[in-house]
Structure 1
């Protein structure tokens, strides 16, 4: 039964078909944030393109077959005695061979020039695929300069042009001189060089002629042998590495030129094999892990692709498998762009000729990947766990340092090692606990990957395999710590939801936990003054976030990097407001076991927030700012109805509502009108205008400068009417 094609199978097939049609050179951008998915797509693309190559070769077989001694000798003779004449007609051939070369940029990140590692990888791959001896023969015998190019171009030969010396083909001279040289050598060996009368002019003349005859072929053979030995000992990648090690500035200035020559040798080699085998050859260069390098090295590789691997009739197809967001930021922060208009997207678009953004996985595919990762990271069997616990217990008992430390404190060290077998009853109890832990781990991971009718994780499961692995490992570790600390194990759904929350929105969750901590400290300080013992632990975390989001907006510029770590802000609202209604009590419980939340984030927020909470400076009854989209849909009656929530003086509120209707201040007018004109039309006091502008316009009232003539207010300095919620909640992009 045929298996059903997955999404990635379809994407890989579509892209592989496109790659078989594109004209070289081309640079394909394979955009995805999931390294595991990129790796799988590249593997499938390679398989599909090889199948297409085999299909074409069956229909249009190549001229030569590989692997035979006859074919190898034929290649050597063609390399030594002929120049290949490659023309545009060769592009019309239907059969094609694809050579796949994988360049992992991370392997060369320790070098000064990562792009030089790209060329080194090409050279090493060619030597592996075609053989070092064959490549060395080519470098020795096929040194093509401008005069040779001109001769080949002006020749009327179709494919092969014989090398000539003194207007005679090299192969003919070799055939003529070879028997003569062999005969002379035989005579010299048999007769020898006579040592006698100087009057023997015949023998002397013979010796002179023999030396003269052997001299030219011998010199050529010696030179060829020397160059061949040199190329075998010092390959192309060795030459490039030696150039990189030279610190002289003159050498560095000519480094790119030397590397270009080595690339040209590879291109000429491909052209030779195309003419000889009578088929097209395309080198598919897969560039991976470039987004893990530093900005300067990323720019260097991109420029090398643009300079070295592009040009007329260059048979390279480069697949740039990257996370474009990381690449763009690295390009924009590079020193190479100082003083220029920094736009990483334009720079990337100038290099990439075929962008392919991998669409997001469907939820069924995400679940399937998650289940496979869970199976790959399965736990030890129960017996192994017990054995391991007993071994740890045995080592602990034999540790004098550990025993002494516990004896000094008056505590039994067995009680301080959780889930460790000491007595038969305790061992039995520990087995029960271990079984409960295993069941809870399995159930927690199951609720994430299974389809549910309520509170599902469909919208919160990301396609990145690294993200999934973090969730799996965090669930396992957190539950084990809960059991070890003898805490009551919560429901599996709550454990899974909390781990996902901490993993996907670390900044916002840290902010909420910091606000709760500050409120608890303030309640403890004010105890006995206000009569309140503690805060309300039944309050939902979303309510805590809503009360403090204005503070978050005020410091958003200081925590921009932290906010960028978070996922979709709308999903964050749906998570806490609709699907998983976590309370302060639950947050305080899970906080001690949250291993996948970086505590330094919370510490940074604590420092920025200061010893005295900024919330004390904001009216506690202030209504949350409205979203821009909601304000935009309001008519005049909706604006009046919403304004009642501001709790203005009843007399003033009636006047303001009347003025709203008189001036037709609907949502569009509020958002796109000048703030000074709106203020003059409503004639509010400063305090009331502050509340109104924060609620409807989402801006700091200080940004509005008073002016008698509103028409003189420069348009360029008008404060943007952007909602505070959109600025805060929408600060980050989807992870």
Structure 2
């Protein structure tokens, strides 16, 4: 959190974001000054809506000017991600973060926020380090690139006290999507290949090739020495010898060719040429491995090893893979000292719970063994659903006796558990606001008269036809304008903190988009009907869309019960009854069929919220349910068909039992 945001929160004057509702003349109040104030305001809002008794009523809901920027407020997700990122900046590596999410909600958004917070923290530390010791990181670019190659050949890095005290950190983010490698038997190899490819791409193939051939592993300083580079004397002597021999050979050959009296002799030419050839061939032999590593990367080597079934069965297979990883980690240590800052490789592992159990085990074992050396610069963010991973661990045949209790095994792997909290008010409002902004049909535009006039000219001199088409176009423009206004008002109700509707919207961004995409088409269908055009309540329509999206099973049962009752002779004023009463009268029949409707009932959300929604905040009547059903596009009608069959069978069974009972009674008499 920056200083401005901290000051705003401390003074209680943090302002809320600019909402889409301002486009239609409405605005939202400033963000709550404290948690208690938020509860109090929501309570007053509930009382105001509860006393109104009308779905469309907005009385009692206070509004203020939303003349502030969205950036002035930190959402709950940003606060959580900021705290986690700062913790990861201070945590010793390697560390495995269990990023637990039960249903994959807003994962990519949270990961992006964590990466952004870590980059900001890295920039802040770099500036602080510069103010402290006046030292900037040395990036391998331009002249520094040539300096790096020179150091790789002739110097060995030394880990000194100065380096250990450096606070500035640079993060290298690698997002590993497990399902991309799910078809392979060795999913863990995909993790290693991704690491090799990103390190090579980040630092460049040439420095990595030089290090693989002539680089030296960093060593710790003896005592309190401040010297970070130690000259490799053997390499210097060898290179100097080759240079001296090469110069001597070239000198002899030149002398034999240029000086009169000597150039006629052949012995000196042969000696000089031989010496120059030997020294040149020595240089070629020294450069050949580097060229080979440039052509054949570590990724190619590991792929070749894993593809060879004979080699994978050998005893030293995993040891060979481990050596390749050690080369990478040692190279990262080398670059730490050269760049004068700490380096951390952040692995974001996603979609692991979509793979087969045996593949999941391989990735976890790779994290625990191949990539878990002491002080290895790895931060693993394991994005998983714990229930699925635990089930994979307990079902895997290779883990019998090792992970009979999947939770215990997962706890031994994860060193920093972080369960994604429920989405907060400001986070949900911001996600909804972003979803609204992506809709092109909310760009309110009026078609220019010039286009219409051009179309009329093309029609010729048929004035009657032109007037009819102009009238129809004008009417359609009015319908579209009115629909856009209704859509804005409905969206305003969705992200209004003083309304109840946002509480019933799920945390999943996918579900938010489903609702946001459904509301416009529902309203547009209704505005096409003349008798509904001026009698639409946007808040009621938005609530109906949320009801259908969140509780399709219960709503389908209510609709089917209503349909059956209206087909026979209903009681008086039945259409004025609340839909909640219809549900309470028939809920026993629904739950008596829970075995047949098990999969369908799993689609429904919280039953307590359903009761509160339909009995308190949105008490739709039977008449309203019939009206909205004609324009409902987000309800799977196959659910109703299954319920209709079950109710029909139940009716037949009931009638058969009754007839059988009457027949038995007649025989008895």
Same fold (TM over 0.5): yes
Q: Using structure 2 for the length normalisation, give the TM-score.
A: 0.71
2:123 maps to 51
Q: Contact (CA 8 Å) 1:96, 1:282: kept in 2 or not?
A: no
Q: 1:583 aligned to 618, 621, 624, which one?
A: 621
Q: How does 1:187-226 map to 2 (within 5 A)?
A: 187-188=252-253, 191=256, 207=270, 211=274, 215=278, 217-226=279-288
Taking a change above 3 Å as real, the CA distance of residues 341 and 128 of structure 1, as seen in their structure-2 partners, is closer
2:476 maps to 430
**Cα deviation, residue 154, structure 1:** 12
- Residue 418 of structure 2 aligns to a residue whose secondary structure is strand
Name which one, 1 or 2, has greater alpha-carbon Rg. 1
Q: 1:98 aligned to 170, 182, 193, which one?
A: 170
Q: Which has the larger displacement, 598-607 or 366-375?
A: 598-607
- Residue 383 of structure 1 aligns to a residue whose secondary structure is coil
Q: Contact (CA 8 Å) 1:370, 1:468: kept in 2 or not?
A: yes
- Residue 356 of structure 1 aligns to a residue whose secondary structure is strand
2:491 maps to 445
Q: How does 1:144-543 map to 2 (within 5 A)?
A: 169-188=234-253, 191=256, 207=270, 211=274, 215=278, 217-243=279-305, 246=307, 248=309, 250-251=311-312, 257-290=319-352, 297-322=359-384, 324=386, 344-379=406-441, 380-383=443-446, 423-452=469-498, 456-484=500-528, 488=532, 490-517=536-563, 519-520=564-565, 524=567, 536-543=574-581
- Structure 2 unaligned segments of length 5 or more: list them: 6-71, 259-263, 460-466, 658-669
Structure 2 residue 668 is the aligned partner of structure 1 residue 595:
no
Structure 2 residue 200 is the aligned partner of structure 1 residue 127:
yes
Q: Using structure 1 for the length normalisation, give the TM-score.
A: 0.66
Cα distance in 1 for residues equivalent to 2:341 and 2:203 = 16
Q: How does 1:675-714 map to 2 (within 5 A)?
A: none
Taking a change above 3 Å as real, the CA distance of residues 341 and 373 of structure 1, as seen in their structure-2 partners, is same
Cα distance in 1 for residues equivalent to 2:593 and 2:558 = 14
Taking a change above 3 Å as real, the CA distance of residues 585 and 532 of structure 1, as seen in their structure-2 partners, is closer
Cα distance in 2 for residues equivalent to 1:390 and 1:159 = 79
Q: Which has the larger displacement, 42-51 or 127-136?
A: 42-51
**Cα deviation, residue 534, structure 1:** 10
Cα distance in 2 for residues equivalent to 1:262 and 1:613 = 71
**Cα deviation, residue 608, structure 1:** 6.3
Q: Contact (CA 8 Å) 1:38, 1:321: kept in 2 or not?
A: no
Cα distance in 1 for residues equivalent to 2:367 and 2:249 = 55
1:28 maps to 97
Taking a change above 3 Å as real, the CA distance of residues 438 and 277 of structure 1, as seen in their structure-2 partners, is closer
Cα distance in 2 for residues equivalent to 1:111 and 1:159 = 46
- Structure 1 unaligned segments of length 5 or more: list them: 194-199, 398-420, 620-735
- Residue 343 of structure 2 aligns to a residue whose secondary structure is strand
Cα distance in 2 for residues equivalent to 1:269 and 1:160 = 15
Cα distance in 1 for residues equivalent to 2:503 and 2:417 = 26
Q: Contact (CA 8 Å) 2:179, 2:355: kept in 1 or not?
A: no
Q: 1:572 aligned to 590, 593, 610, which one?
A: 610
- Residue 566 of structure 1 aligns to a residue whose secondary structure is coil
- Residue 459 of structure 1 aligns to a residue whose secondary structure is helix
Cα distance in 2 for residues equivalent to 1:234 and 1:161 = 30
Aligned residues: 570
Q: Contact (CA 8 Å) 1:100, 1:286: kept in 2 or not?
A: no
Larger RCO (CA within 8 A; separation ≥ 6): 2
Cα distance in 2 for residues equivalent to 1:388 and 1:533 = 56
Q: Contact (CA 8 Å) 1:459, 1:571: kept in 2 or not?
A: no
Q: Contact (CA 8 Å) 2:77, 2:424: kept in 1 or not?
A: no
Q: Which has the larger displacement, 171-180 or 301-310?
A: 301-310
Cα distance in 1 for residues equivalent to 2:89 and 2:545 = 44
1:669 maps to none
